[in-house]
Structure 1
Amino acid sequence: MALLVQKFGGTSVGSIERIEAVAERVIKARQCGHQVVVVLSAMAGETNRLLGLAKQIDAIPTPRELDVLLAAGEQVSIALLAMALNKRGYSAVSLTADQVVIHTDNNFNNATIHEVETQHMTTLLGQDNIVVVAGFQGRDIDGNVTTLGRGGSDTTAVAIASALKADECQIFTDVDGVYSTDPRIVPSATRLDVIHFDYMTCMARLGAKVLQLQSVEYACQHRVPLRVLSSFEEGEGTLVNFDVMSNQNIIGVALQRQQVLVNITLPATVLNEQLGLYGLTAWNLSTNSSDDISQIVISNDDLARLRLVFDSKMRHIGMVSILSLIGKDIQQHLECIQMVLREAGIIVHTYQGDKKCLSLLINEDDHLAAVDLIHEKFVVDGQCLGNLSHLAVS
């Protein structure tokens, strides 16, 4: 008998019919003799609906009260799933993060989990219950409700799996695993059976959206095996662990779209300090020391916030994408990669990287052609990089 933590996202519980289907999936694990803790997100669209209500009251809501409001979404989904399980004759108990208890810091809207208490969950599991926990939320030292930020339910599941020493943390989503590249862009992409945490961490950091970065980092730090599975199809999914790919030269391709190239009239040291102060993350490209102009790349989602901070000091240059290749000693293949892209007329403006990843700045309009070409050359044909067998992930 194994102890499993299963997490289902908003799409997976987006309707009553889908919640009923999740109940059947959970029961299958229970029928195999496993103990199960289920972590749920709010129903698809619910968090945005609540956020919209808040903004009808106040364009910039008080962070504490916003967390109280947003945490309500998960309370609905956990209660509905517990009802569906109980109806089928399987005893289930829903718990909010405060009932678990999940301790966080007091960084409202983007809190970090410090500790998960296990006594209540362990007692319920020992009484043959399925435990259904609200993801995305916690409480701080003063008893305030906190939320964990975008994708926070994944982190909740991993933290619970770590605290309970679960055999596996299973992340159910609308895809059936980690693919060689985004199959929506490259139809020939294939699913990976297993991937090493080192590569999965790089992928999540560099644009792959199948797993949230904080959850992967937490799982890696606490050595929690992760498995990505489909909520809608049967299959083994993709296992993320430390026991594979240690000696292979593997290529990974992740894409960050909708990035903005911006000039800001500030020295790099001052700019970086201000970006950190306002919680903005940017890729620093260069600084013109003669007039203290810094050039950065920042997500289009953060552009409005950047304008609030720097306003007249910034100049919008254009839209770009960051194409990242992940693998062992990847930078030694830079010349070959640039040659392949150059021959296709794709301009690489600049690059950054380390031993595990290489990020190339390209024009936004070239992102589809670039991903397709890299996959074709290095995955399908296996060209340039020593003619080895390569994988690309996104």
Structure 2
Amino acid sequence: MTLIVQKFGGTSVGTLERIEAIADKLVAFQRRGDSLVAVVSAMSGETNRLLALAHEIHSQPNPRELDVLLSTGEQVTIALLSIAIEKRGIPARSYTGSQVYIRTDSAHNKARIQEIDAKRIHDDLRQGRIVVVAGFQGADEKGNITTLGRGGSDTTAVALTAALEAGECQIYTDVDGVYTTDPRVVPEARRLARLTYEEMLELASLGAKVLQIRAVEFASKHHVPLRVLSSFEKGEGTLITSEVEGMEEPLISGIAFNIDEAKLTILGVPDKPGVAYHILGPVADANIGVDMIIQNVGRDGTTDFTFTVHRNDYLKALEILRESASTLGAREVRGDDKIAKISVVGVGMRSHAGIASTMFHTLAQEGINIQTISTSEIKISVVIEEKYLELGVRALHSAFELEKAPSRISSSL
């Protein structure tokens, strides 16, 4: 008998018909002999509805009370799904995060899981029940309800898989796996059978929205196998696991892209120790996250400094940078909120040269100018003009032949 944790997102439980369909799926698994824990999100659109209600009353709701409000969305889903399961003759038991109990820190609206008491779940499983747990929520040591932030149900599911020592964490969503890139941009994009945690972390951080980054980090830390599956059609999905010898290792596994960024440059900054801190310190103090950072080699006693931020923070960051330029005696500040970032990701990059040159040559052939470049061991990212995004993604997907299945696959797979 295998214990599996299955997570269903908002679109998967978005209507009563979908909840009934999920109940059918869970009951079929149970009757096959598996033990099941289901983690569910609020019904599609419910969290946004609750947020809107709160903001109609107050533009800045108290974070504690906001968590109390938002946690009710998942409570509705767990009750409805448990009722649907029991209608089919299988006993079920629903739990909120505080009932399990999923203990978190006290950072309301963005809490982190610290510990899970799995005793009640184990007791229910031994009695043949399907356990249904509310994702996205927990409680701090004082009993205050907390929420984990957007996409937090993924993290709940992974944490429960680790705490229960379950065989696999299956994330059901509206796509049937992780693709080489967004099929809406490249129709020839191919579903990947397998990815490493490292690759998925890079893809998620660079714009792929299939999984929450914190969930993948948690899975990697606790060695939890993750599988992304479709709620609406059958298939093997994509397995995300540790890198193992013999695993298929294409040069590039996927291409991620992001149009939610903006670029800022401060020109002619005095080239002296501490200049980076004096530029980025005020930005950080304003709670603005910075992504790519490029500093040119100094000349004539000055240097140029470029970084990217989320597009929502662009105007605020630009204002801060202009103030810093005045203080530092910089020559000029420039901003551009019409950029896009394209990234190629793959563990095969570790052992193969020429990835960067292929990427740069491909973009040059399409007349696409590269503005900034950032690299890591398994990733190369470039910033280009936003209008060339789709052309660039399609060209790179073709250049690396990602539409083709890897030619080298271990016989053990």
TM over 0.5: yes
SS at match of 1:379: coil
Counterpart pick for 2:280 among 253, 261, 272: 272
Bigger drift between 142-151 and 297-306 goes to 297-306
> Matched residues in 2 for 1:19 and 1:244: separation?
40
Q: CA RMSD in A?
A: 2.5
SS at match of 2:337: strand
Structure-2 residue corresponding to 1:298: 309
Structure-1 residue corresponding to 2:330: none
How has the CA–CA distance of structure 1 residues 134 and 333 changed in structure 2, closer, same or farther, with 3 Å as cutoff?
A: same
> Matched residues in 1 for 2:246 and 2:383: separation?
27
TM-score by length of 1: 0.91
How has the CA–CA distance of structure 1 residues 156 and 336 changed in structure 2, closer, same or farther, with 3 Å as cutoff?
A: same
Bigger drift between 208-217 and 279-288 goes to 279-288
Matched, 1:281 2:295: no
> Matched residues in 2 for 1:99 and 1:317: separation?
48
How do 1:283-362 residues align onto structure 2 when only pairs under 5 Å count?
Answer: 283-286=291-294, 294-303=305-314, 306=317, 316-327=335-346, 328-329=349-350, 332-362=354-384
How do 1:43-58 residues align onto structure 2 when only pairs under 5 Å count?
Answer: 43-58=43-58
SS at match of 2:39: strand
Indicate if the aligned counterparts of 1:196 and 1:245 stay in contact, CA closer than 8 A.
no
Bigger drift between 273-282 and 39-48 goes to 273-282
SS at match of 1:110: coil
| One-letter amino acid matched to 2:281 | E
SS at match of 1:232: coil
| One-letter amino acid matched to 2:89 | G
> Matched residues in 2 for 1:281 and 1:331: separation?
32
TM-score by length of 2: 0.87
> Matched residues in 1 for 2:66 and 2:304: separation?
37
Indicate if the aligned counterparts of 1:331 and 1:353 stay in contact, CA closer than 8 A.
no
How do 1:1-394 residues align onto structure 2 when only pairs under 5 Å count?
Answer: 1-242=1-242, 243=244, 248-251=249-252, 252-263=254-265, 267-286=275-294, 294-303=305-314, 306=317, 316-327=335-346, 328-329=349-350, 332-379=354-401
Shift of 1:95: 0.3
Unmatched 5+ stretches in structure 2: 270-274, 325-332
Shift of 1:316: 3.7
Shift of 1:281: 2.0
Deviations 1:292-322 (A, max 9, x none): 9743211224446657977866864232111
> Matched residues in 2 for 1:293 and 1:214: separation?
34
Indicate if the aligned counterparts of 1:196 and 1:240 stay in contact, CA closer than 8 A.
yes
How has the CA–CA distance of structure 1 residues 162 and 271 changed in structure 2, closer, same or farther, with 3 Å as cutoff?
A: farther
Indicate if the aligned counterparts of 1:173 and 1:229 stay in contact, CA closer than 8 A.
yes
SS at match of 2:74: helix
Shift of 1:275: 4.1
Structure-2 residue corresponding to 1:385: none
Shift of 1:380: 5.0
Shift of 1:285: 3.2
> Matched residues in 2 for 1:264 and 1:59: separation?
34
> Matched residues in 1 for 2:110 and 2:304: separation?
31
Structure-1 residue corresponding to 2:328: none
SS at match of 1:132: strand
> Matched residues in 1 for 2:316 and 2:162: separation?
35
Unmatched 5+ stretches in structure 1: 383-387
Bigger drift between 288-297 and 202-211 goes to 288-297
Larger Rg: 2
Shift of 1:52: 0.5
Deviations 1:323-342 (A, max 9, x none): 11112237742122101110
Indicate if the aligned counterparts of 2:225 and 2:240 stay in contact, CA closer than 8 A.
yes
Shift of 1:231: 0.2
Bigger drift between 278-287 and 17-26 goes to 278-287
Bigger drift between 305-314 and 70-79 goes to 305-314
SS at match of 2:251: coil
Bigger drift between 356-365 and 327-336 goes to 327-336
Shift of 1:144: 1.3
Indicate if the aligned counterparts of 1:121 and 1:131 stay in contact, CA closer than 8 A.
yes
Bigger drift between 341-350 and 254-263 goes to 254-263
> Matched residues in 1 for 2:31 and 2:22: separation?
14
How has the CA–CA distance of structure 1 residues 236 and 247 changed in structure 2, closer, same or farther, with 3 Å as cutoff?
A: closer
Aligned residues: 386
Shift of 1:273: 3.4
